[in-house]
Homo-oligomer: A and B are copies of this chain.
């Protein structure tokens, strides 16, 4: 095999990094399950029809083909497959496919890889893990779920903050009805086109957005100014309502959006004060959102962009007869973790799960060491047996290279009697007599821990 280089955009971790991802995944799973979200996985592929039906041309799809498809094979439409680019489209398909077997409202979480065939030169991820929660109803879904979904995700992110030292977050929320109603109230006929351009506010700034609105969409200076000014409104309380009303724009959909956004921001901040702001420039690129939309910034790392986004989609899952409206939020796990793991700023405390290396006196005594290891494991102590009956100094170095804290020395045999076992803490050098059927490492050393500095 030739020299190998990592594939750009497909991050992989060393074990100490993988343990971080696993640990964070475990925190997310636990939080979601405490809130009654059930786990599902969906297949990696969807039909191209399903992946492209919402006009998602900017999400570059990876097409999947069988290498050995026979020439005579019937062109089965199910064989036009692509890798999913998010977990929402597959979830909507799953709900339609299984609606007869699910109880609604249906609450699920899903932590899986997704793929996007981004241009290679941009250094963006082509494979990454997302953690999604969604709630879907049958025909209707009460608005309080727009409050519940962000509260669950904020609780998960709060645990990452308190338990692992991640920065705190602020969730920025808008309601598409508010923006669309405002644009319509200004006489704009294609609000979606305005929304798309306002979505670039953070990236290109208000002046450039205004230029797009006047240049590309032909809006008047005055109308464009109002659209840009609306996007500039960001408040942590209900004062955004007054600021919007000051424009003097009247529209029913605008009122609906104002009411709904106020309800969400108020309820979330009553439960977790200071974690949510009404931010009227939030638009979300995806076409399927119809109401509340969420983005989440890491305090002090706003330039990373949103690490957790989502929204309400009232018609994504529909088979013509039945509609399953939903609301959900997705956490970009790889986006959140990969840069830190890559820099080594966060890692597990050792590169193996083992708390103990059981030394081997001679190769003939290997089964003695295996027996000790089995006793330790039966009481939940992770351990491994030294691969070679080297001199003890070399066996200790084997443990040290992996940051295994303890080395176990089986008692040596004299006149057919095995002496006492001893265990050494190789950090302090302390060595004590120990029995494999009762000794335990300190709780803090039992499993690798995750430590990081942001």
Contact = CB atoms under 8 A, between A and B. Distances in A.
Contacts of A366: 144
Interface string A17-29: 0110110000000
Contact of A15 (B39, B43, B57, B382): B39
A148 B21 CA distance: 27
A401 B103 contact: yes
A251 interface: no
B63 A382 contact: no
Interface in A334-392: 351-354, 366-367, 370, 374, 377, 380-385, 387-388
A65 B63 contact: yes
B67 A351 contact: no
A380 B159 CA distance: 14
Given A19-B38, A351-B103, A387 B4 contact: no
B83 A352 contact: no
Given A12-B41, A36-B353, A38-B351, A61 B67 contact: yes
Contact of A67 (B6, B47, B62, B66): B62
A60 interface: yes
Given A353-B36, A383-B36, A43 B12 contact: yes
Interface of A: 1-8, 10-15, 18-19, 21-22, 33-45, 47, 50, 53, 57, 60-70, 76, 78-79, 81-83, 93-94, 96-98, 101-103, 105, 107-108, 113, 115, 117, 119-120, 127, 137, 142, 144-145, 148, 267, 270-271, 317-320, 351-354, 366-367, 370, 374, 377, 380-385, 387-388, 398, 401-402, 447
20 contacts: A1-B319, A1-B320, A7-B47, A12-B94, A14-B101, A18-B39, A18-B40, A19-B39, A34-B353, A34-B380, A34-B382, A35-B377, A36-B384, A60-B68, A61-B67, A68-B117, A103-B401, A142-B388, A148-B385, A271-B374
